[in-house]
């Protein structure tokens, strides 16, 4: 079994679960913040919606610089649930295609995250997809679930029923 054959079922399941959470983000609450230091719901949901697309950069390039001119890149921000879902679906389709077409050798090649030209880390592409794409998505999906709960929005079940679906 190839790395892609092992990884894609997990990827598909996590993306389906993530989409269920993004579908619950209410249009009228994008400005909600649970704490002054927190992202707004719109910022967090936008970050989550674009995180799958990071996998495209990982699979198609040797590195990515998060601050190429010394200033952090700013990702796109959605203003509606429809925008979120479109950004998410586009990223998921692109990375899934890249994963499916990759050889084991490609997955094992080194990939680097840079900040202002300096190497932050270098890992095999597989590790970057697993840890810095999938786990990152899972982490922010859980945060968004808390935001939904705080806004009395029913939280979808992810790894079984939620308290709203039992």
pTM, two decimals, is 0.94
Cα gap 12→98, rounded to integer Å: 13
CB within 8 Å of 92: residues ≥ 6 apart: 15, 19, 52
Which residues in the chain land under pLDDT 50? Answer: none
Supply the pLDDT for residue 71.
Answer: 78
At 118, phi and psi to the nearest 5? -90, 140
Q: Residue 114: name the closest of 164, 54, 67 by CA.
A: 67
Supply the pLDDT for residue 70.
Answer: 78
Domains and CATH numbers, the chain: 3-150 (1.20.120.450)
Tokens 């990375």 — which residue? 95
Supply the pLDDT for residue 89.
Answer: 98
Supply the pLDDT for residue 125.
Answer: 97
Supply the pLDDT for residue 74.
Answer: 84
Cα gap 56→92, rounded to integer Å: 9
């Amino acid at each position: 079994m190839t790395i892609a054959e092992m990884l894609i079922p997990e990827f598909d399941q996590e993306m389906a679960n993530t989409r269920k959470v993004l579908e619950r983000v209410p249009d009228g609450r994008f400005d909600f913040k649970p704490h002054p230091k927190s992202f707004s719901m719109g910022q967090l949901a936008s970050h989550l919606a674009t995180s799958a697309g990071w996998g495209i950069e990982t699979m198609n390039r040797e590195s990515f610089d998060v601050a190429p001119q010394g200033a952090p890149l700013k990702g796109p921000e959605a203003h509606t649930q429809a925008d979120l879902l479109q950004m998410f679906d586009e990223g998921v389709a692109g990375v899934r295609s890249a994963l499916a077409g990759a050889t084991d050798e490609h997955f094992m090649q080194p990939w680097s995250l840079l900040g202002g030209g300096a190497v932050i880390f270098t890992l095999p592409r597989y590790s970057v997809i697993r840890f810095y794409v999938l786990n990152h998505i899972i982490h922010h999906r859980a945060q968004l679930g808390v935001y939904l709960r705080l806004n009395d929005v029913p939280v979808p079940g992810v790894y079984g029923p939620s308290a709203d679906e039992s």
